[in-house]
Amino acid sequence: AERPACAAVEPEPSPALLEDSVPEPMIDVPPPPLVVADELLQPLDLEPPIEQPDVEAEVDGDELTGHVPGLVALPVGCPACPEVELAVDTEGRVHCLGRTSALRQLQVASRWVTDHHELLALACPGLLSGSAQEPSCHLFTPHPPELADLHGSDLQLHLLTRVEVGSESTWYSCPLS
């Protein structure tokens, strides 16, 4: 014979426990107001992003010296700054030329030129002036707004970008400061 299933029986609390407990008051707290930043209220741009070409990489093969009239490239450079070109003008003043990616190296190369002027004069006879002058530094960019905070500094700023018309392309450069 089968036994009937037993139901679990929970014991009832004793009346002594019920008298000692005080019910906690219920406080109804509304949720805080929803605050949304203004930029989140703008409509979403669901268009896929347009990939911009890496213009810095395209510029790498081109010499910067040719984009500044009156400069002649020096056959030597700062050993610690291979991305910076050294050039000289008709008065014998050294110019350091670099791209935005080499901004730090541009400053290091400028200091190196000042510290090693005599060595450069021996390596490049007849090109440098007899007295050491502060080098002129040129910074090239394909995107001028990223240099906006450098206007008014001692850097000479230049735009350098590839221009394409139909199937033809060429480099365009101009001074920005």
- Looking up tokens 């910074």 gives 139
Sheet-wide strand order for 72-73: 72-73, 85-88, 94-99, 136-141, 155-165, 168-175
Exposed / middle / buried, residue 120 (Cβ in 10 Å: 0-12, 13-18, 19+): buried
Secondary structure of residue 94 in the 3-state scheme: strand
Domain holding 102, by residue range, is 72-175
Contacts of 134 (CB under 8 A, 6+ apart): 110, 114
Greater pLDDT, 139 or 31 = 139
Residue 96, both tokens: 């350091």
Residue 94, pLDDT > 90, answer yes
Q: How confident is the model at residue 3 (pLDDT cuts 50, 70, 90)?
A: low
- Is the pLDDT score of 2 beyond 50? yes
Q: Residue 26: inside a domain, yes or no? A: no
Nearest to 87 by CA among 64, 103, 108, 107: 64
**Number of domains comprising the chain:** 1
If you average pLDDT over residues 108-124, what whole number do you get? Answer: 91
- Is 163 inside any structural domain? yes
Residue pair 94/124 in contact by the 8 Å Cβ criterion: no
Q: Which two tokens stand for residue 109?
A: 């190369």
Average pLDDT, the chain: 80
- Percent of the chain beyond pLDDT 90? 41
Specify the range with the lowest mean pLDDT, choosing from 14-18, 23-27, 61-65, 100-104: 14-18
Per-residue pLDDT of 26-76, as tens digits, reads 777 777 676 656 655 566 555 555 444 444 444 334 689 999 999 999 999
* 54 inside domain: no
Does 169 fall in a domain? yes
